[in-house]
Structure 1
Amino acid sequence: MTTSASPARRRGRPGGSQGTDLLAIARDVFLTHQYAGATMDAVAAGARVSKQTLYRQYPSKEVLFGAVVRDWVDRGRDAMRPHLQALMESEDVRQGLLELSRILHAGVLSPPVLQMRTLIAAEAERFPEVAADYVRRSWDHNQGLLAEALRHLGARGLLRIDDPAVAAEQLTWLALAAPLNRLTLTAGAARYSAAELDVIAREAVTTFLDRYGARDSAA
């Protein structure tokens, strides 16, 4: 704990948050108050920095909001890679797809992701470029990685894939459509039990393999 400060340090607030830590605090402010209710004062107070310091880095609330969303995307950009690598290496394609469906549930249906999706969607008209960047570097990026994993399984003879991009989209929405719709429309209140999500995952994989499975995997 600091009990004294040099004259140079008294001009600021020692120990204030910087970089990604500051953006995480700003994200909490936006999620708590939404864009309209969030203030630069609240962010500065939460980060324990002066308003002057905050404005030097982010000249306006609009600039800060864009930085918060970009930071969020950067934090989760490659989170799917190890799971998709495990899918590509799987010897049991049904089990591999089932595990991936559970990962999608754990990620996309988690409260932080749902809250950020809701915030970005609510501000998409005000900040179309921010929303477009989120879609391109998060959703589209992960869909491309999934398509490549499915293409690889097709090359191994474990799936019959004509268009990996279409197959990736179908697998994603088979696993996510119903729970994501319900949780989005109820602000996350109508949550599913683990058993309910497991049934959704199993049915999604069964339907997917009925369409794309090799003879042995679809049996």
Structure 2
Amino acid sequence: MSEAERAAPSGARADGKRKAIVEAALLAFLTEGFDVSMDRIAAAAGVSKVTVYNHFDSKENLFRAVVSGQLHDALSVVEQLVESRLGDSDDVRDELIKACRAWVTALTVPDMMALRTLVVAESKRFPELGETWLEHGPNRLHAVFATALTRLGQRGVLDIPDVELAVLQLSGLVLSPNLVYGAYGRTPAKKLADRLIVAGVDMFLSYYGVE
């Protein structure tokens, strides 16, 4: 964290301005791309450019705040479902399908898909943007799934020798098709997306389930 971020304004009024800046930045990045000027973002937020820089010392750090905030909001519901229900569930298939549906829904809404595409496009110039996405997206949620799957293994419901690998496999089955096709502007139709989730969970459980 930079000195400028540590010295960012605090208090209710400052928090309100920060929220306005982040919301304006999200819209600006999605409509004009990463090269949008800080002047445009400041004008959209109704603050001065100085105020923007008081909160964020660079456009890269502002973009990182946008990404982390969007992922936090989108994945909180999924995280809660997995943490509160999956590990101790008596109907693992049903709970895993529910969690995966929430997971896919959270990451395939148009704004989230557009933001992900922008992160991928800018990661060559600014690798830290990709690292922010990984930290607040896959790494965060995969750890939550790993904890629940470990618990199911401890209960003797599943037999998973490598939990980290298993989470990546689950993601590949239920989420990756949506992200691959979504990158070209064509996410699978809703019915197909749900079939992928249900079939993916069934394949996962057929491999790791204990008979």
- Which position in structure 2 is the counterpart of 1:209? 205
- Which position in structure 2 is the counterpart of 1:8? none
Deviation at 1:156, TM superposition (A): 1.4
After TM superposition, list the pairs within 5 Å mapping 1:10-159 onto structure 2.
18-36=17-35, 38-76=36-74, 78-84=76-82, 85-159=84-158
Question: Which of 194, 197, 200 is equivalent to 2:196?
Answer: 200
Aligned partner of 1:134: which letter? W
* SS in structure 2 of the partner of residue 18 of structure 1: helix
Q: What are the ranges of 5 or more consecutive residues in structure 2 without an aligned counterpart? A: 1-12
Q: What are the ranges of 5 or more consecutive residues in structure 1 without an aligned counterpart? A: 1-13
Contact 1:171–1:205 at 8 Å: present in 2 too? yes
Structure 1-normalised TM-score?
A: 0.81
Q: Alignment length, in residue pairs?
A: 198
* SS in structure 1 of the partner of residue 153 of structure 2: helix
Q: In 2, Cα distance between the equivalents of 1:90 and 1:183?
A: 32
Q: In 2, Cα distance between the equivalents of 1:64 and 1:177?
A: 28
- Which position in structure 2 is the counterpart of 1:10? none
- Percent identity at matched positions? 31
Deviation at 1:33, TM superposition (A): 0.4
* SS in structure 1 of the partner of residue 33 of structure 2: helix
Aligned partner of 1:54: which letter? V
Q: In 2, Cα distance between the equivalents of 1:151 and 1:160?
A: 9
Aligned partner of 2:63: which letter? F
Does the C-alpha gap of structure 1 residues 18 and 112 become closer, same or farther in structure 2, counting only changes over 3 Å? same
Contact 1:77–1:137 at 8 Å: present in 2 too? no
Aligned partner of 1:135: which letter? L
Deviation at 1:73, TM superposition (A): 4.2
Contact 1:120–1:131 at 8 Å: present in 2 too? yes
Q: In 1, Cα distance between the equivalents of 2:194 and 2:72?
A: 29
Give me the CA root mean square deviation: 2.3
Structure 2-normalised TM-score?
A: 0.84
Aligned partner of 1:26: which letter? A
Deviation at 1:171, TM superposition (A): 0.8
Q: In 2, Cα distance between the equivalents of 1:134 and 1:120?
A: 8
For residues 154-192 of structure 1, give each alpha carbon's deviation from its aligned partner in whole angstroms, at most 9, with x where no partner exists: 111211111111111111110012222111122xxx233
Q: In 1, Cα distance between the equivalents of 2:44 and 2:144?
A: 37
**Who wins on radius of gyration, i.e. which is larger?**
1
Aligned partner of 2:130: which letter? A
Aligned partner of 2:39: which letter? D
Deviation at 1:74, TM superposition (A): 4.5
